[in-house]
Structure 1
Amino acid sequence: MREDGVRNPSCGLTNLGFHCASARYNASEPVLLEDSIRRNEGVLSRDGALIVRTGKFTGRSPKDKHIVREPGSEADIWWDGNREMSPAAFNRLKDDIFSYLADKHVEVQDLVGGADPAYSVNVRLIAEYTWHALFLRHLLRRPDPATLATYVPEYTIVNAPGFRADPERHGCRTDTVVAIDFSQKLILIGGTQYAGENKKSVFTILNHIYPERGVMPMHCSANHAHGDPSDAAIFFGLSGTGKTTLSSDPERILIGDDEHGWSDQGVFNFEGGCYAKTINLSQKAEPEIWHATHHAGTVLENVGYDPVARTLDLADGSLTENTRAAYPLDILNNVSPESRGGTPRHVFLLTCDAYGVTPPIGLLTPEQARALFLLGFTSKVAGTERGVTEPEPTFSTCFGAPFLTRRPEVYAELFEKRIASSGAQVWLLNTGWTGGGTADGKRMPIAVTRALLNAALAGRLDTRKVGVDPVWGMAVPSGVPAEAEGYMNPRSTWSDPAAFDRAAAALRKMLDERLEKLSLANPPYVPA
């Protein structure tokens, strides 16, 4: 096996029992970009971004994700929320993926998860596709080149998109598989070209190990005020609900757009890049993301383009609504160089209400905040998961159910403690529909959401004179910006009030059933 590139010579692939035709370690972004083009894995945009197609998978495949049931971690795993795989099946899968890659070239990237050195975790990627190496190099944190000669991976991801699993032999659901064995600290991915599986595998690892270290792992974006890292805010939400858009604000400093930890010292980003949705991206409304999408070296997944001029068509959803841009944080103008901030003063739970009955903003009590964090009510947005073609109301526990390895109560208790100790205000922010449901309403205008968000951050919302929302029981503030005045009473935005009442009753019924399942039936903070 030929091995090239800067690496720790005592910690190569053979230590894993892995052999291949050739392996290149820690190639730089320009080299990976050049070779992705040379290997026909993508094409260049007019701006020098790499445009790739991910085949039949244009989103994650959460039902194809498995955790090995083994003695070291078995008691800690939330088995109601995770599919199991036997150790024997995992080892057969490992042997077969290693055999599949034995005559191929692979790219190796030695990377880091976690911007706080006290909690950082070394993660190595072994990738069949060169563009996957570029993607994860953008999205994780890149260690100082001087440290690569002594780098030791704690976890390893082996990604072989061309491999097809055998459900009977490998104990999986389909020929697509994502399998994690915490005893071997190894993640195997096969049968999907969608690069988001790489990044979310790292997030799953950190979701598992951080609670024991006293860190709350969070599926959220984060930013802080200019010149004041202590004035931090975090935004929980599923993909497509606005985490990246709302945290990428020219008036504030971006910490990160998707995955963070909350320690005694404050908030820190898990990643070194952003993974932003680009469908119908507006240069005016989202200038930072638009700029990154048109930047050399950015990876664009399934984005439409003119094949001759290579100009981007960000309105083209013919392949998927889940078009994405992956880019490093350091190309942004408005980003924290340390990827860290203080203890959050504001926490926003982003819900994408497909029923169209939730106010655009509401203030939660600590008890409400814990319950709604556990509920994680939102909608899956088209394309973010395999098979999702229309907005679907759903509950994603702790706003990150597909990535939780431990029981939800573990994360909810961490959340409750952090809110109590920080005194942070917790808001429910509806980025979903208004004036009707998905059939006859419209998405909440970004200008309205951002105006309310900025007012909340600046303390300009009147939380003394409030209404009480009849579905959620939360306090609806007064003194809102002019842009939002016509949206604060959701019922008044519907042309048919009776239809609103039916939709509100349907949502309330859905909430009651979920609360009962979570053993939170008849909570005093949600009015009947």
Structure 2
Amino acid sequence: MTYVSIENEVTQLLEGDNIKIQLSVPQLVEKVLARKEGTLSATGAVCALTGKYTGRSPEDKFIVNEPSVAGKIDWGRVNKPISEEVFASLYSKVLQYLKERSEVFVFKGFAGADRKYRLPIQVINEYAWHNLFAHQLFIRPDEEELAGHEAGFTVISAPGFKANPEVDGTASETFIIVSFEKRVVLIGGTEYAGEMKKSIFSVMNYLLPESSILSMHCSANVGREGDVALFFGLSGTGKTTLSADNNRRLIGDDEHGWSANGVFNIEGGCYAKCINLSKEKEPQIFDAIRFGSVLENVVLDQNSREPDYDDSSLTENTRAAYPIQAIENIVEPSVAGHPNAIIFLTADAFGVLPPIAKLTKEQAMYHFLSGYTSKLAGTERGITSPQATFSTCFGSPFLPLPATRYAEMLGEKIDEYGARVYLVNTGWTGGEYGVGSRMKLAYTRAMVQAALEGELNAVETVKDEIFGLDIPLHVPGVPDEVLQPVKTWPDAEAYRKKAQELAAQFRENFQKFTGLAAEIEEKGGPVA
């Protein structure tokens, strides 16, 4: 089937009597309850279950191998190609499937808070609760914007349509397929709502660099003097905790672009993990989960309907989706100036990286490409001791272009705007996991505050002998002896041995990169 006829099918679909366009939050909540797609929590949030898929399905994600993108995509395990013919056939089947549903829900909005660079999107959903999710996670238009809205990209999500791999050419019943020429994301066979969010992020990770904008998987906030900070970090590094600061306003918690104008949030909402959530530890997230929010796979008490955030019987990956306006102390619109400070967070369970270090541009590019943290024993089946884990640019599953493209852009931005870059280790000190202790949060907060306020700009440093990092000798509020890992270990030689083990793993991981990688490693990687 040709693409012209497919476009006609989309037009016909949106003109059907079963199409519900731009329903309000209360209307969508009513639909969710009437259709028995979910229940209300005691706080008024919609609670939905996603069945057997409680997280993303990376093995089922594809990019259509089209002429205009074939030479640009970094094809491999993350970006797997699928033919135009397979996509066209599945697309037609899904659209026909949706035509036969009694109701289909459409949200029109934007990705990108900077009006100059935003992408108009529409999300077509089989489920009302998925449309509510899209309404809360993406940027919502006002009446004038809605009247002139023309989608530049369309997400079509039909969880009830399951592919037949032998017939449809997929890996399983589930599929997440991006067509850049058709500007469509096609999702089927999975009820996990996060696929919609991350698919648009992947799209923006392709489109934004084409306009010389660095797309980033990070949180961002701004101080009272207009100073902007970016926080990169994988799960467990403290990104959410450290970027939530009562003295700074939140720009966004997960996805951003860095243009010639400054930093802007890609999203209009937050998608927070809520396993073990408590009002004491994370009051902003806890209080944001109210009417209109969406809870995924959170267990509710049968009588009180109170969420039990400590219950992981369905999954550890319990989630809450809510508009960013549910958080106090935010920037509206979600745009700000150029970053003054960039923080790379790692939780080093080997206890060898310094609690804070100043990075050169080349070291920043190296650690950006590495995206290092540790997995701890017991977090996954088969892991009995700490393991190094690397996620390129702190977001490898969502990068369609070669990783060095993003690192090169980061280096250019650092040069152009003079951002200071720091590596902050929130992991172990005085020994590896099981021997040493976790870095005190109060110390980490003091170090981050000193970095953001410029107190480390001229401070005296010492060069780390293994990783070549510049370690400040003094940080207000932190004992000097904590700052140099080798001095916190009872056995200096044992420290050096463990540090060299980790350095070797950095080098091994870096072998997968090409292009600028050799120069970046030479100037920014471990020195011993």
User: Could you tell me the TM-score, scaled by structure 1's length?
Assistant: 0.89
Match of 2:83 in 1: 86
Q: CA RMSD in A?
A: 3.0
Contact 2:218 2:256 in 1 (8 A): yes
Cα distance change, pair 386–25 in 1 and its aligned pair in 2 (3 A): farther
Q: Is the partner of 1:394 in helix, strand or coil?
A: strand
Superposition deviation, residue 149 in structure 1: 2.9
1:277 corresponds, among 273, 278, 293, to 273
Cα distance change, pair 313–446 in 1 and its aligned pair in 2 (3 A): farther
Unaligned runs of 5+ in 1: 1-10
Match of 2:499 in 1: 504
Match of 1:313 in 2: 308
Superposition deviation, residue 206 in structure 1: 0.9
* Cα separation, 1, equivalents of 2:291 and 2:8: 31
Cα distance change, pair 13–107 in 1 and its aligned pair in 2 (3 A): farther
* Cα separation, 2, equivalents of 1:297 and 1:260: 24
Superposition deviation, residue 500 in structure 1: 5.0
Moved more, 115-124 or 280-289: 280-289
Match of 1:137 in 2: 135
Superposition deviation, residue 165 in structure 1: 1.8
Cα distance change, pair 162–484 in 1 and its aligned pair in 2 (3 A): farther
Match of 1:24 in 2: 20
Pairs within 5 Å for 1:29-108: 29-80=25-76, 81-104=78-101, 105-108=103-106
1:426 corresponds, among 413, 421, 430, to 421
**Is the aligned partner of 1:287 residue 2:286?**
no
Contact 1:157 1:186 in 2 (8 A): yes
Superposition deviation, residue 202 in structure 1: 0.8
Unaligned runs of 5+ in 2: 1-6
Cα distance change, pair 367–50 in 1 and its aligned pair in 2 (3 A): same
Q: Is the partner of 2:182 in helix, strand or coil?
A: coil
**Is the aligned partner of 1:516 residue 2:511?**
yes
Letter in 1 for 2:326: I
**Is the aligned partner of 1:128 residue 2:130?**
no
Superposition deviation, residue 358 in structure 1: 2.2
Cα distance change, pair 490–134 in 1 and its aligned pair in 2 (3 A): farther
Percent sequence identity over aligned pairs: 46
Q: What per-residue deviation string (whole Å, max 9, x for no partner) do you get for residues 488-514 of structure 1?
A: 344566678776555433321111112
Superposition deviation, residue 92 in structure 1: 1.6
Superposition deviation, residue 329 in structure 1: 1.1
Cα distance change, pair 380–129 in 1 and its aligned pair in 2 (3 A): farther
* Cα separation, 2, equivalents of 1:235 and 1:206: 19
Cα distance change, pair 25–475 in 1 and its aligned pair in 2 (3 A): same
1:198 corresponds, among 196, 199, 212, to 196
Contact 1:240 1:277 in 2 (8 A): no
Moved more, 468-477 or 202-211: 468-477
Letter in 1 for 2:365: R
Cα distance change, pair 433–30 in 1 and its aligned pair in 2 (3 A): farther
Contact 1:13 1:19 in 2 (8 A): no
2:291 corresponds, among 292, 296, 308, to 296
Superposition deviation, residue 79 in structure 1: 0.9
* Cα separation, 2, equivalents of 1:391 and 1:133: 40
Superposition deviation, residue 144 in structure 1: 0.9
Match of 1:323 in 2: 318
Number of residue equivalences: 515
**Is the aligned partner of 1:366 residue 2:364?**
no
Superposition deviation, residue 100 in structure 1: 2.7
Superposition deviation, residue 291 in structure 1: 1.7
Match of 1:353 in 2: 348
Cα distance change, pair 51–17 in 1 and its aligned pair in 2 (3 A): closer
Moved more, 187-196 or 319-328: 319-328
Pairs within 5 Å for 1:182-261: 182-226=180-224, 228-229=225-226, 231-261=227-257
Moved more, 406-415 or 427-436: 427-436
Match of 1:455 in 2: 450
Superposition deviation, residue 195 in structure 1: 1.0
Contact 2:473 2:480 in 1 (8 A): no
Match of 1:410 in 2: 405
Match of 1:180 in 2: 178
